[in-house]
Amino acid sequence: MLFFFSRKKTEASLEDPASALFDETSEAESSADTTEEEIELPVDLIRHEGELIIHAPLVGAKEEDISVTVRGNEITISKNATAPKSPGEILINECYWGPLSRTISLEEKIEPEKITAELKKGVLTVRLPFWREKTKVVQITADEEEENH
């Protein structure tokens, strides 16, 4: 199985993570250019007992700040929260409070109707159950007129 993670303007594969090192500028260089740029959301992706589980740290975000969208074989998690208002002069400003987003392309089929998302203690957990082929036995009925002939 192959998962693709979008990394700003390029895509890198889990099978070849080193390729992204040569295609991208450093995070420090690109994030220094603008403060409004959307930053890539860090995630953990786990396969466990018939489902994929995504964990994303979203400390300080509320439910209304977060969007989880599934379109075809892609899932996108986005967050847009603003910094808390504090009186006084900022002495250290290391927290990023702007937009974060991550799109993951999946090769596995998932059941969109059964996807769940929960925000607990600043961590978003998204569960993506694998699509399971179901077999249905179809009952055959006979037309009563044909049976009498």
What's the CATH number where 66 sits?
A: 2.60.40.790
pLDDT at 135: 80
Evaluated on CA atoms 46, 49, 52, 53, the torsion sign reads negative
- Report the distance separating Cα 51 and Cα 74, nearest Å: 15
Residue 97 — left, alpha, or beta (φ > 0 → left; ψ -120 to 50 → alpha)? alpha
Number of folded domains that form the chain:
1
The residue written with tokens 């199985």 in the block is: 1
pLDDT at 51: 94
Residue range of the domain that includes 50: 3-147
Write out the chain's pLDDT in tens, 149 residues: 444 444 443 333 344 444 443 444 334 444 444 445 678 999 999 999 999 999 999 988 889 999 999 998 899 999 987 888 889 998 998 888 888 899 999 888 888 899 999 999 999 999 999 988 778 888 898 887 665 65
The single-letter code of the amino acid at 89 is E
pLDDT at 103: 95
The b-or-e profile of 89-109 (16+ CB within 10 A means b, else e) is eeeeeeeeeeebbbbbebeee
The residue written with tokens 């700003």 in the block is: 8
pTM, to two decimals:
0.64
